[in-house]
Structure 1
């Protein structure tokens, strides 16, 4: 892990001007898109026939990952099996419902057997934000959890200043071979919408207040709890001098606050393993109130990263060994 005085990468994302991937999908120089899968991008504007699922070739992956600096990207490697068909259709519907806030890049492993051989299993999807992978999931994830994962990606992107919508990449009619309407984007509860609006303007205090009121009205509102935890992370890291934070942690290895500060910076910057491992190591070697403070903060970071993220599962096992 390299020390740097710069803000975490996710804060430095340039969201000006969405990139149209339709040329990428059909550019002969980059590899032909699969027949019937894509067409020229429809004008941006939320038409019900628009789609943000696009077929790409393996050699185009770097371009796709770079696009995740502007909006979250899910790369799906699918096969000809029933599980692949179900996962592909489900993700297409979920992504299209977001109307440009997420892109789904699809690769057919049957046309690229080398992918099927290298992947542990197919279908498999990897989520990217800010040029970095933030999670991987397969067909074992229930359909309802896929919806939660897509929503969390949009929330993470919004809270990191990525509010630009991508233009449509294809049409659902061309993709499905029939006229179809994209599912309507679910309407957020009023306080959740207030929080999202505040985040888009960088007003973290107002966003936190909206989520707190939502939790007060509905104590079991898990989405509001997650949103509040994410906003608090943004508040804690806003304007910090990363080099100073890291140096303070190096100079004071027994200071739980210093270690937590670096963990926060790491999580926000995409260095998830580093941030989680730092607190696990602190817990291994410290006891009393400081250990509990670190443990409680680590659990909060788990909720921010997401329980479905394999890095969280690994860290939970490490935490259990450290505690017991």
Structure 2
């Protein structure tokens, strides 16, 4: 499929997402996150977090599951950049988990801006699969922000990036006497992902699925977390070489399918496993089929590629 580049004044094409990521700074020992000045004034968002040194690395790791936006701003140096941060929080909330927004106040955490080599503010960076790319470099009206993020979402979907974040606590401190807006079902798993503890995230999602098999969000989160778990520390070149040398090895083929998923090549992952199902017999066939069903859950049953994949799987089975 030919992808039209995302082009709009003040925005940068996302086609470079396949380039190697700059080395992320190592976090300080995890502890209680300090309250940052300059939090959004327009109210909290379930999909917006304030970024500090302790949370920064975990936020980048969450981009393996779904896109993360980083907004760099300073209310004192450039008030319009603070307004952009407020407006982004509003627009990201409207996308209901398509993005997770990290707000980086460069006055509160200048070390992050320095590590990311931020040239100026405002700046919004999109992070997908741990790879950052500049997205917006000017303060846009909120209507233009809505258009821009919709276009970015469409482009990412076309590239196979379809994951969603679960709701998180509000970005701004809760008013006295108010409770934080934390979704109790998903918070433990999301906290585990934020800490880079993929194994614990899998366990937390598994608890949710065991308690309620009809919880589609939990099932999707579990499937994505399992893909991340299976691919931790895997050498891509070695995995592809092993799969090429052993075309009927279910473990080798499913590992490359997982890597394809994380790389945004959803249809390639599906096709690889459908073809494997077609040319193998039980028990290998059942193992390949079950793995493919897990990838379907990770993408979402309403996705057209999943619908096509299910049709192709049915043809391969029968």
Shorter chain as normaliser: what TM range?
0.5 to 0.7
The answer to whether 1:154 aligns with 2:165 is yes
Query: Hey, what does 1:306 align to over in structure 2?
Result: 300
Structure 1's 17 and 252: CA in aligned 2 closer, same or farther, altered over 3 A? closer
Preserved contact between residue 190 and residue 201 of structure 2 (Cα < 8 Å): yes
CA distance in 2, matches of 1:224, 1:293: 22
Structure 1: runs of 5 or more not aligned: 1-7, 22-39, 55-64, 74-91, 93-102, 109-122, 136-151, 159-164, 166-184
CA distance in 1, matches of 2:259, 2:237: 10
Query: Hey, what does 2:159 align to over in structure 1?
Result: 132
TM-score (norm: length of structure 1): 0.51
Superposition pairs of residues 71-82 of structure 1, within 5 angstroms: none
Structure 2: runs of 5 or more not aligned: 1-16, 25-59, 61-67, 74-79, 95-123, 136-142, 172-179
Structure 1's 46 and 292: CA in aligned 2 closer, same or farther, altered over 3 A? same
Preserved contact between residue 53 and residue 104 of structure 1 (Cα < 8 Å): no
Structure 1's 291 and 234: CA in aligned 2 closer, same or farther, altered over 3 A? same
Please list every run of at least 4 consecutive aligned residues from structure 1 whose deviation after the TM superposition is greater than 6 angstroms.
Answer: none
Query: Hey, what does 1:187 align to over in structure 2?
Result: 182
CA distance in 1, matches of 2:300, 2:192: 23
Residue 51 of structure 1 deviates from its aligned partner by: 4.1
Query: Hey, what does 1:246 align to over in structure 2?
Result: 240
Query: Hey, what does 2:32 align to over in structure 1?
Result: none
* Structure ranking higher on relative contact order (CA contacts 8 Å, 6+ apart): 1
Higher helix share: 1
Instruction: Count matched residues.
Output: 208
The one of 277, 287, 292 equivalent to 2:271 is 277
List per-residue Cα deviations over 1:25-58 (Å, max 9, x = no partner).
Answer: xxxxxxxxxxxxxxx554466689944599xxxx
